[in-house]
Amino acid sequence: MNLRKHIIEYSFIAIYFGILIYFFQNLGDSFFSKIIFAGALPLFYLLWSVVHHYFEDRLTLHIFLEYLSISLFVFIILLTASTL
């Protein structure tokens, strides 16, 4: 992996995650907002990874399913954690 080549992509996803985590911390007790957050983070991660691998010409069904399963797992964890 060439970090210098992908620094903009990785910076973008790190900034997005940071912004979402900040808003998650300050949502209060709004369950609807927490559901939106719990879905937005993994959905963006899935979309970002598909676009990234597409432009690298490495997107396969296996890679897509791997990122989909990770995204669903993160969604379930975030949704569960936000309801506690």
Q: Residues near 56 by Cβ (< 8 Å), separated by ≥ 6?
A: none
In which band, very low, low, confident or very high, does the pLDDT at 84 lie, cut at 50, 70 and 90?
low
pTM of the predicted structure, to 2 decimals: 0.78
pLDDT tens, residue by residue, 6-44: 788 888 888 988 888 787 777 767 778 778 888 988 999
Using the CB atoms, write b or e for 58-74: b if 16+ within 10 Å. Answer: ebeeebeeebeeebeeb
DSSP-based three-state secondary structure for 57: coil
How many whole angstroms separate alpha carbon 51 and alpha carbon 54? 5
